[in-house]
Amino acid sequence: MLEYLKSVRMAVRLIYVLVISLAFTEAIKRLFIVSDNFAIPNWEKTTLFLIFFSFITRFFIGAYRVMTYDIEIEIRRPKIIIDSIGFFIQAISFYIFALIYQNLIYTEWLILIICAIDSIWLVLLAAFWKIMDDTFSEYILHNIVFIAFILISINLDYNNIYALITISAIAFIIDFWYNRETYFAIKKSPGLRIFIAGPYGDNKSKAEIDKNVEEARRIGKEIALKGHFPFIPHTMLHGWEMDARFNVEHFKNIDFKWLEFCDALFFIGESPGANVEKERATKKGLQIFESLDKIPTVSN
């Protein structure tokens, strides 16, 4: 089922990107081509293109981020259907935007429609799936500002291209600044994913193994209380050594795969396995901790 849902999300993403690409291509063509000949665009035409560019880029990045969420976490089929419909409408709207952005009146009306649809979609997410991430209030506010400005402009016959580009530019800059952690892969939370490496005791007595597991669990708890995110292979693999279908290579492969996702390693003490894990973590450039006192406390 998860693979099916993942395929659906990937198909929607590809279609969305395809239509957005067509919209960008059409917009650039209309900016520089007149009667099948290349022409330097005038200021008004350039300004309308910049409004189109800032508007579509801001929405595209947010939508693409939603469509790339981990499908194993997002398994709600009704939401995927709503996402698919919403993004299809949005993509078609952007293509229409590319066709008519050279006319300010049409541009304003289409922005009004897109913002209204986006607001409805955000409200549905909040109402039915309780999804209100950091960008929720920001996008709602942006939509309200655009809707209010355009409604006032239409009612007062105030078709000022410079006012619209100013608002578009401010929204664009605020969005990239507010969401810079997401857009530019900057770690927002100071919490680290910390791999716990230490003796397990495959060839030791049950009492010795239990002691090592308990020590790893204790350290993991302390790390979590400091605001970090421990991964404790001792507890996950505890007892697997009793299953003849598994051997040491199985355990190494599992540990090494999880180590790839971590930011740091806590080294409890030496053992053949823990030493190799520490060596791999060092080569990857991960932080190595050997004392709980050295791990900073962060908000979680």
Q: Cβ(138)–Cβ(178) under 8 Å?
A: yes
Work out the angle between the directed axes of helices 104-129 and 77-100 (0-180°, nearest 10).
170
Rounded Cα gap, residues 113 and 154, in angstroms: 13
Helix (H, G, I), strand (E, B) or coil at 260: coil
Q: Cβ(273)–Cβ(196) under 8 Å?
A: no
CATH annotation of 193-294: 3.40.50.10400
Rounded Cα gap, residues 255 and 236, in angstroms: 10
Alpha-carbon torsion (29, 34, 36, 37), positive or negative: negative
User: Is the pLDDT confidence value at 229 over 50?
Assistant: yes
pLDDT digits (tens, 9 = 90+) for 151-160: 988 888 777 8
User: Whole-model pTM?
Assistant: 0.62
pLDDT digits (tens, 9 = 90+) for 188-206: 557 899 999 999 876 678 8
Quote the tokens at residue 166.
């100013």
Quote the tokens at residue 132.
């209100």
pLDDT digits (tens, 9 = 90+) for 102-121: 888 889 999 999 999 889 88
Q: Delimit the domains of the chain by residue range.
A: 2-183, 193-294
Q: Considering the chain, what is the average pLDDT of its residues?
A: 85
Instruction: Categorize the per-residue pLDDT at 277 as very low, low, confident or very high, splitting at 50, 70 and 90.
Output: very high
Q: What percent of the chain has pLDDT over 90?
A: 40
Cβ atoms < 10 Å from Cβ of 27: 22
Q: How many residues does the chain have?
A: 300
Alpha-carbon torsion (83, 120, 52, 169), positive or negative: negative
pLDDT of the residue at 1: 53
Rounded Cα gap, residues 118 and 159, in angstroms: 23
Q: What percent of the chain has pLDDT over 70?
A: 89
